[in-house]
Structure formats: C-alpha cells, structure tokens
Structure 1
C-alpha cells in the first residue's frame, strides 16, 4: 500500500497562504527533494489553481531562480489528480475527479507506486477523518501573518491526531522543516 504524505508551508501562527511567504533556496530544494519520492499529486481545486499554471510556466520558460526552476521541472512532471466540481480544463497529466475524494484517495493508495502527495487544506479534515494521511511535512516560516487560510479550521477535526516527530531540519533562514508520522 502506498504512503500518503501531506506537505505544507505554514506561519508560526498557523496560516498556510503561500502568497504570504518568500521561500528561500533551501526551502525550494527541500520540497524538490520530497518530490523525488512521489509519483502522484492529489490537489483540491484552490491549491491546484494556485500552483498551476504558475509552476508550469516557470518550468517551460525556466523563468525562476535555479532552485525554482528545478522545483518547477520536478513538480510539473508528476501526474496529478484534482478534486473539483467546477473545473472544466486542466493541464496535461492531470485528471479531474468530481466527487468523493476519500474514496478516490483510498483507491489510489491501494495501487502500486511511490508516495502520493496531498496538497489541499480544504480536503485535509475529511482525509484525516478517514485515516488516509500517513505522514506530514510542515515547513514552519519564522513569521506571524495573522491572516489567510489556517492549516486546520477550528472545529473541523473530530478527534485529536497524535503524531510522532521523526526529523527536524533548521534552515539558515530560520525556517524549520518538521517531519511527522501518524502514530
């Protein structure tokens, strides 16, 4: 059975709006290295539209810094599933699923392959309740933003989820990457 991983940038006060951070080269390299173990990306519509076509354009035109270009190349080469009732068109190597993200992820998890990376804050509580997320990579930025989307909205979890810290990386920028496994 495949491992399902969740990776997200987050502020010290628990917000995960990507537009509020300025990731360093180290952070881009960290996320690029995580993608080495992944062969499927599982997005909600909002995160998909935030990530694409932006990173596809960077990959195509090599218009970012060298670390951004490497991340963009790796990210856009991986097959994707996007959960959406409203999207009509998606990029190459992306498939739209219209309903039941839990059932879809469970089916994908049972297939042979590398890790599946979930990138959706809106789907996270439902996927956690179903027990489908196996590991977490939270990249904590040393900033308080006081606005944006919270990682977990108040009241959205039915019960506590105990995690075990297995790795910590402190970057020169003060960003801390935390790797947790579900207990």
Structure 2
C-alpha cells in the first residue's frame, strides 16, 4: 500500500487551521493533484465538518477554476471520519470509522493501493504517538496568525525528521516533506 501522509497547512508561528493560510490557485492545484493520487483521507469530526464547505462549491460553482477542481476531487476521494458523537454522514464519499484509529490505519496499511492522507490535527497527533505516519507534508504559509491550534501540541517525546524535499510557491508558501527517522 501507499504511505500514511499527514498533509496540513500551517502558519510560520505553528498554528494549523483550515481557515488560516493564503490559499491561491497554485496551492489549490497542488492539493487537487495530491488528493487525486490518494485512496482516502482521514478526518476527525470537526475537520470533516469544515471540509463540507467544498460541497457548497459544487452546488454553487465558483468562478475560480482551481477552487472548483479541488471541490470535485475532495468530493470524490473516500473520507473516513473518526468521531464518537457523529452517528451518520451525508457526504456520499464519507463513512464513519467502525474501528479505532490504530486498527483502521493498520488495516489500511495491509491493503494494496495508493497513499492515505490524514487531514486532521487531532488524528495526526494520535498517529504520531502510534508511530504510524510515514510522511509529513507541511505547507507553511508566510504569515503569523497569533492564535489557533498548534500542530505539535501534546507531543512529549522527541521525534526527529528527515527533510526529503520541498516545494516553494510564488506566494511565499513552502511545502516541507518530512519522514520520521524511525521509519
């Protein structure tokens, strides 16, 4: 199977939030291409709710082609939602996980296929503790947010990463591709 990839946007001061950042056409195109190459994306309840915004873009197409293209891809990719409170989801390509995060990811790792993306901060932290993330793709936006959720909150053990590549965008954002050295 492919890798378990934590793909997230964050600011220079370390805050990750789907509303922070400076999305532009190039970044939308990047994530459109990335998700088109995956088998699934894992979300927690809150991030899943935020991502439902893209359904509205499909219902009311944006004049921005890159946003529309991303909406099409995010609509298609299977989404596995981890929640103790959600009983059902209405997005056709989404399902609620029936097993624990660890059990679900270990099962996915056994199957042949493409990469699995993790798009929720809470799931990334849990998978870091379980040592189940194969790669980080951190898109650092050139701004200081000053508030929000810190990506690496509640990490008590030292984790060393190896930079394997990077990608710079014209707007100053940069994606850093890291692999944990224990992999």
Instruction: Quote the offset at 1:64 in angstroms.
Output: 5.1
Map of 1:30 onto structure 2? 30
Aligned residues between the structures:
180
Tell me, yes or no, if the aligned pair for 1:84 and 1:99 is still in contact at 8 Å: no
Residue 57 of structure 1 is matched in structure 2 by 56
CA distance in 1, matches of 2:43, 2:139: 18
| TM-score, normalised with respect to structure 2 | 0.92
- Please say if residues 8 and 119 of structure 2, whose CA atoms lie closer than 8 Å, have aligned partners that are also in contact: yes
Distance in 2 (CA, whole Å) between partners of 1:87 and 1:39 is: 23
Q: Which runs of 4+ in 1 moved over 3 A?
A: none
Residue 21 of structure 1 and its aligned partner are, at CA, apart by 2.4
Specify the alignment match of 1:176 in structure 2.
174
Aligned position for 1:159: 157
The answer as to whether partners of 2:39 and 2:78 remain within 8 angstroms in 1 is: yes
Deviation at 1:164, TM superposition (A): 1.3
**In 2, are the aligned partners of 1:59 and 1:73 still within 8 Å (CA)?**
yes
How far apart in 2 are the matches of 1:67 and 1:19? 17
Contact 2:4 2:135 in 1 (8 A): yes
In structure 2, how many angstroms separate the alpha carbons of the residues matched to 1:89 and 1:49? 12
Root-mean-square deviation over aligned CA pairs: 1.5
Distance 2:113 2:37 in 1: 10
> How far 1:99 sits from its partner (Å)?
5.2
TM-score (norm 1): 0.92
1:129-168 to 2 correspondence within 5 Å?
129-153=129-153, 156-168=154-166
Task: Output aligned runs, 1:36-55, within 5 Å.
Answer: 36-52=36-52, 54-55=53-54
Judge conservation of contact 2:82–2:96 (CA < 8 Å) in 1: yes
Determine the structure 1 residue equivalent to 2:67.
68
| Stretch deviating more after TM superposition (164-173 or 92-101) | 92-101
